[in-house]
Amino acid sequence: MIDKSENINIWLIGNTGLRNPARIQDGFKVYASSPYVGKLHGHENELGFMGYLNSNGIIHNEAGKDSSGSHARKWRLMFARYGFIYDQYKGKDKYLQDLLGPVDEITPFGKIFLKADTVPAMQECFLRSLSVEQYALPDGTALFSPFRWILALMLRLEERTGSSELSRIEFALWGQTTNPTYDLDEVVDHILDLRKKRKASVAKKKFDRSVIRERGAHYSKKSDNFKDYCDMNMRYLRISGIIQRKGRGIVIVPSKRLIAEKMAKSTASDISIADELITLTTGAPLPTDDAEVALNVLNELKKILKDRHIVYDISDLPLNTAIEINIARRRLEELLFQTDEINYASEQKDKWREIAAYMELLIHGGGKKEYDEDYVIEVPKDEMPAYLEWTLWRAALAINHMVNKPYEVRGFRLDSDFFPVSAAGGGKGDLYCEFPDFTILTEVTMSSSSRQEAMEGEPVRRHVSDAVLAYDKPVYGLFIAIRVDTNTTETFRHGIWYAKGPVKQRLNILPLTLEQFRKYFIAMFQGNDVYPDRLVDLIECCEKERDRWDAPQWSEFINHRVNVYAAQIDHRES
């Protein structure tokens, strides 16, 4: 019987200062090429690495905001916790450090992680790390894996209810606060009791505050941690690829259920911490490393594809070893994800209000907008560049009529829930939207200072020029920023670029603030005038006038045309 008066602990598998685990690989790649490999301890090194992360665009540390090096320590903690570098062992056995490896050096598993060049490959690395039982039980008697414990809990919940879904409040109070010292069925009893009472409550927010206060009476730290740690912990669980988002909660991915069953474990391990750390830093085994299990998982995936009428062909791939079978499985998983992305794209026209709300959050520097307890949108301040690209990609999908696939439009990576992993890399444009009669290349930036022109003027023109040469149809450029510097406007007003030496081009690139684009985007939907031609109308109208004025006057004209279009819609509606 669970004693409700006992002291509650919340386990942490991530760090609230590094809430998105998908960013860890980008930071680790920067670390691997830095002069700080093997030198992450010590105040001077911490400050140096923090500056290195900042200069490489991984973090955005305002001058003087963090002089302690705490950013570097958070990244170091995650590198070590997931087995990518050797941690500084502080146990009694002084020989364990020699057994493991030099402090802060990259581990064999870290080298594998660096080579993970797709989201599924990255997720598999995190899955191996999450499976390791390296967390001590509250009484210190054994080690457990929060990931394995949560899988066991969700599967037991599925046995009793038909669904593995765990809501946010349920996870906050009875997921992250429990461990293998608890009885699974008793925990499920408490979850179902909470679910029943919450469903019957009229005021959900008031109810949640009440149950958090009740359970928090036996928690020694601030009660805000229940939700703050909950959001972070669920994000790290989802990076495994086995668990996905369901509303604000989580559910087991249907195609990965067999793997979840193999990995679920409700008991703790009596293996020594030394052996667990060796497993962590060399790469923990997975059920799919076994050929028979891998084939069963592949067959389950094939059944899902067949049930969804998705045509596939893996007849060219051998299926003799676990490695070969897993290669085939990943091909089918990629096909399934692309199909889901096409379905996601088709839904965006009905999500235009949410997309506009994301734009508003970006304009105001990030933050959160809460519609109700189960519907909240958020732009993390340290992920704004990625969210800007993602939001404008969704806007393009909402406008629709593209002839290229949604995954061909974007240059950035998505996680399994269709949220951005990171911003697109350099070397090509951000969003390539190809329509039957023209192509619109959209470039976005968070830069707003006088350096904006130096950073964006050359690459944006080059990307549009390359697109002009690549497509046999008109190409238009949209440059969207929170604020457009006048020097940037002047560069795009001229729009001159020499391609292939003496070939002079005059490019059509329209600079818009995100607020202007948002206003125009909303007007298109409010006026039931959602066609990409409307964007071309704006671009061409403004381009015709660019030789009449200097940049400040041209900026005013662009703003005027946006306002005129929005006013026409308002007049039509009234």
Q: Residues 223, 315: one domain?
A: no
Residue 372 has a pLDDT of 76
Residue 69 has a pLDDT of 79
Tokens of 263: 């990995």
Among the candidates 289, 316, 334, a domain finishes at: 289
Angle at 382 between CA 380 and CA 384, to 5 degrees: 70
Residue 482 has a pLDDT of 95
Residue 9 lies in a domain: no
Q: What percent of the chain has pLDDT over 70?
A: 96
Give strand pairing partners of 378: 368
Residue 298 lies in a domain: yes
Angle at 220 between CA 232 and CA 276, to 5 degrees: 55
Among the candidates 326, 345, 364, a domain finishes at: 345
Residue 241 lies in a domain: yes
Q: How far apart are CA 159 and CA 384, in angstroms?
A: 40
Residue 10 lies in a domain: no
Residue 109 has a pLDDT of 98
Residue 392 has a pLDDT of 98
Q: How far apart are CA 430 and CA 444, in angstroms?
A: 7
Q: Residues 312, 213: one domain?
A: no
Q: Other CB atoms closer than 10 Å to residue 64's CB: what's the count? A: 6
Q: How far apart are CA 59 and CA 71, in angstroms?
A: 8
Residue 94 has a pLDDT of 65
Rg (CA), the chain: 26
Does 574 have pLDDT greater than 60?
no
Q: Residues 259, 299: one domain?
A: no
Q: Residues 320, 171: one domain?
A: no
Kindly list the distances between the CA atom of residue 204 and the CA atoms of 200, 211, 368, 373, 415, in Å, as whole numbers in the listed order: 9, 11, 19, 7, 30
**240, 123 Cβ separation under 8 angstroms:** yes
Q: Residues 191, 214: one domain?
A: yes
Q: Residues 337, 438: one domain?
A: no
The CATH number of whichever domain residue 497 belongs to comes to 3.40.91.50
- The confidence band for 487, taking pLDDT boundaries of 50, 70 and 90, is very high
Q: Residues 284, 302: one domain?
A: no
Residue 61 has a pLDDT of 67
- The confidence band for 424, taking pLDDT boundaries of 50, 70 and 90, is confident
Does 501 have pLDDT greater than 70?
yes
Burial pattern 84-105, b for ≥16 Cβ within 10 A else e, equals bbbbebeeeeeebbeebbebbe
Residue 7 lies in a domain: no
Q: Residues 281, 299: one domain?
A: no
Does 191 have pLDDT greater than 60?
yes
Total of domains in the chain: 3
Can you say how many angstroms the Cα of residue 353 is from the centroid of all Cα atoms in its chain?
Answer: 21
Place of tokens 């140096």: 48
Q: The sheet that has 439-445: what strands, in order across it?
A: 431-434, 439-445, 475-481, 509-513
DSSP state of 40: -
Residue 12 lies in a domain: no
* pLDDT tens column, 56-83: 888 876 555 556 778 899 999 999 999 9
* pLDDT tens column, 252-273: 999 999 999 999 999 999 998 8
SS (H, E, C) 119-161: HHHHHHHHHHHHCCCCEECCCCCCEECHHHHHHHHHHHHHHHH
- The confidence band for 93, taking pLDDT boundaries of 50, 70 and 90, is low
Q: Residues 300, 258: one domain?
A: no
Cβ partners under 8 Å of residue 227, min gap 6:
168, 172, 212
Q: Residues 257, 377: one domain?
A: no
Residue 119 has a pLDDT of 87
Pairing relationship of beta strands 135-136 and 143-144 according to DSSP bridges: antiparallel
Q: Residues 265, 317: one domain?
A: no
* pLDDT tens column, 204-220: 889 999 999 999 998 99
3-state secondary structure of 521: helix
Residue 16 lies in a domain: no
Q: How far apart are CA 128 and CA 146, in angstroms?
A: 13
Residue 166 lies in a domain: yes
Q: How far apart are CA 33 and CA 37, in angstroms?
A: 8
Sign of CA dihedral 14, 130, 344, 376: negative
Print the domain residue range for 474.
351-573
Torsion of CA 305, 309, 311, 317, to 10 degrees: 20
DSSP 452-517: HHHHHHHHHHHHHHHHHHH-SS-EEEEEEESS--HHHHHHHHH-EEEETTTEEEE--EEEEEHHHH
Mean pLDDT for the chain? 92
- The confidence band for 570, taking pLDDT boundaries of 50, 70 and 90, is low
Residue type, 499: A
Among the candidates 289, 309, 335, a domain finishes at: 289
* pLDDT tens column, 519-536: 999 999 999 999 999 999
CA nearest to 131, candidates 283, 8, 27, 249? 283
Rounded (to 5) percent helix, strand, coil in the chain? 55, 10, 35
Q: Residues 110, 246: one domain?
A: yes
Quote the pTM value. Answer: 0.90
Q: How far apart are CA 397 and CA 255, in angstroms?
A: 27
Cβ partners under 8 Å of residue 375, min gap 6:
248
* pLDDT tens column, 331-358: 999 999 999 999 999 999 999 999 999 9
Residue 57 has a pLDDT of 81
**85, 106 Cβ separation under 8 angstroms:** yes
Residue 66 has a pLDDT of 58
Query: CB burial class (10 A; 0-12, 13-18, 19+) of residue 106?
Result: buried
Residue 89 has a pLDDT of 81
* pLDDT tens column, 446-479: 988 878 999 999 999 999 999 999 999 999 999 9
Does 51 have pLDDT greater than 70?
yes
- The confidence band for 374, taking pLDDT boundaries of 50, 70 and 90, is confident
Q: How far apart are CA 536 and CA 514, in angstroms?
A: 17
Q: Other CB atoms closer than 10 Å to residue 245's CB: what's the count? A: 16
